A and B are shown apart, each in its own frame.
Chain A
Amino acid sequence: MKILVVDDEEDVQSLFQQKFRKEIRSNIFEFSFAFSGEEALDYLANHPSEVVMILSDINMPGMSGIELLKTIRVAHPSAPPQVMMITAYGDSKKHDEAMLLGADDFLTKPVNFVALKEKLLQLI
């Protein structure tokens, strides 16, 4: 399963790679990373219909996670990827907005990796 992680913090890449080391090694998950909303859209354009799941932060400089979500829902009406939004603790306004725009799920920071792993494994 190909997963695109969108976050402006570059350390997120090594964190995911270490947290999902076993799954990556056994080819259950394949992670790609984008460090901004724009970069994520570029990636999606270059790799059409590959990405199954997008994990995106909401608070990012430039294009925000919400805008990214909006664009994806407009640009990929058919065969839509699953989108999981990640926000800071306790931001219920953003949560409601994201859900309204068609987010499939919602995670709060700090990300509970055990729960995330379970959710992802269920999707396979």
Chain B
Amino acid sequence: MDYFLVTFFLVQYIRKTLQTKDQLPYWHKRIEYAQYLSVALLCTYYVADTPDWFGWVWHPFMILILFTAYKNDEFYSIRGIVQSVIPFVGVTVLESIVKLIAPSFYDKYESYFGAVAFFAFALCFIIWFYAQKQQKILLKEREDRIREEKESKAQKESLEYLVAERTYELTLQKEELQKTIEELKSTQNQLIQSEKMASLGELTAGIAHEIQNPLNFVNNFSEVSVELCEELVEEIEKSQLPDSEKSYIREIIGDLSQNQQKITHHGKRADSIVKGMLQHSRASSGELELVDVNALADEYMRLAYHGLRAKNKEFNSALVTDFDPSIGQVKVLPQDLGRVFLNLFTNAFYAVAEKKRKLAETDSGLDYKPEVKISTKKFADKLYIRVSDNGTGMPEHVKAKIFQPFFTTKPTGEGTGLGLSMSYEIVTNGHGGTLDVETIPGEKTEFRITLPMKD
């Protein structure tokens, strides 16, 4: 009976502690067999009417279990328990041997053997009991640890949430800062651009002043030389020279006179450029006057249109006006602003005329309707003026340079490249406004003037 209890509980203990069902499936089967076998042995023991020799069946079985448990590394963690069984097995085996070899000795000390065997048996269970207790403490500790882990995990999650929130805030801030930096950069570029324009304007006016005097001499001397040639011809006629020589001299003087006229002609051309340049420095002079800007714009639109019509009879374009009647009178420099309008409209009409000419070359210009539009709008103490056309538009590299003095896309002699740079000067320096441009190549261009409305 005690054999069975020891084996059964030992095997059960192994099974439970090591959780063999999940952890060691290979050993689980064998452990189950061992349990069945121990039950079978117990039954056999009682069926056979408890024979004394049956101990010899238990001994190998128990030693086998101990040996197996001791030899295999899988059972290393419960070696203490296994060891606790050794005294019991040792005592019972010794008891059986003594009983077999020296029955008389055994009979004499049977009660001692029984007592030792009982102590060994009891020892097993005492050790098991303590092991069990230890196990429970360990289990509790493990549970505590798991709970702590859970708590720290929750803490970690809340921290992570906080971090994510902060990260989001920081990202927003970063984006905002980036936006600000970009705005600052574009403002800086605008400043650089307007500084550039201003210094270019000054330079232009300075150069013009310097060139003007020598140019005046060129023009004056060439003009007076023409007069001298005429006088020379008159003097030759009075002389006694033979006619053939006279006509030869006349021919030479004719060429000379023609050359002087050419010098005058080109000198005048240069002079008109210089005058254009000088208008830069004049742009911000003059008095602010109360002016009906709508009427001013309308007047210059018609002026520019008829100016182009006079040169090109075939040209026509729709003139669209969209005036805000609530503007009333605005304080501006009327002559200067008129010059701006004239430039913008001349360019607009030129752009639509160019587009029409180009489309006519490819025979696809039949349904093209040239249109130049002016619109004004008063809003929040500012006057917005738009001059738009559905002409040729501009590619980016042209757009970048249009406000620079002497930049022109027109053929030589048709434009000085000063119109827009002067308009820019007048709008920004003269009126404290802004002038910019929006364009789609091949489709349209829109110039936008924004003027502050002073009371």
Which residues of chain A have a CB within 8 Å of any CB of chain B? 9, 11, 15, 18-19, 21, 88-90, 92-93, 109-111, 113
B278 at the interface (CB under 8 A from A): yes
B5-13, B66-74, B218-226, B420-428 - the one binding chain A: B218-226
Are A89 and B224 within 8 A (Cβ)? no
Given known contacts A15-B217, A19-B224, A110-B219, A92 and B275 CB-to-CB distance under 8 angstroms: no
A15 partner, pick from B212, B220, B278, B279, beta carbons under 8 A = B220
Are B224 and A18 within 8 A (Cβ)? yes
Sorting the interface of chain B by its residue count into under 10, 10 to 19, 20 to 34 or 35 or more gives 20 to 34
Are B220 and A111 within 8 A (Cβ)? yes
Q: In the bound complex, what is the Cα–Cα distance between A27 and B285 (angstroms)?
A: 44
Q: In the bound complex, what is the Cα–Cα distance between A11 and B279 (angstroms)?
A: 27
Rounded to whole Å, the gap between the CB of A61 and the closest CB of chain B is 13
A109 partner, pick from B216, B224, B281, B285, beta carbons under 8 A = B216
Rounded to whole Å, the gap between the CB of A13 and the closest CB of chain B is 12
Residue in B215, B216, B221, B278 whose Cβ sees the most chain A Cβ within 10 Å = B216
B209 at the interface (CB under 8 A from A): yes
Rounded to whole Å, the gap between the CB of B337 and the closest CB of chain A is 18
Collect the chain A residues with CB atoms within 8 Å of residue B209's CB: 88
Given known contacts A18-B228, A110-B271, A89 and B212 CB-to-CB distance under 8 angstroms: yes
Collect the chain A residues with CB atoms within 8 Å of residue B285's CB: 92-93
Rounded to whole Å, the gap between the CB of A23 and the closest CB of chain B is 13
B140 at the interface (CB under 8 A from A): no
Q: In the bound complex, what is the Cα–Cα distance between A93 and B219 (angstroms)?
A: 26
Collect the chain A residues with CB atoms within 8 Å of residue B224's CB: 15, 18-19
Question: 7 closest A-B pairs (Cβ-Cβ)?
Answer: A110-B216, A18-B224, A90-B282, A15-B220, A19-B224, A109-B216, A11-B217
Collect the chain A residues with CB atoms within 8 Å of residue B221's CB: 11, 15, 18
B326 at the interface (CB under 8 A from A): no
B412 at the interface (CB under 8 A from A): no
B213 at the interface (CB under 8 A from A): yes
Collect the chain A residues with CB atoms within 8 Å of residue B216's CB: 109-111
Collect the chain B residues with CB atoms within 8 Å of residue A18's CB: 221, 224, 227-228
Collect the chain A residues with CB atoms within 8 Å of residue B281's CB: 90
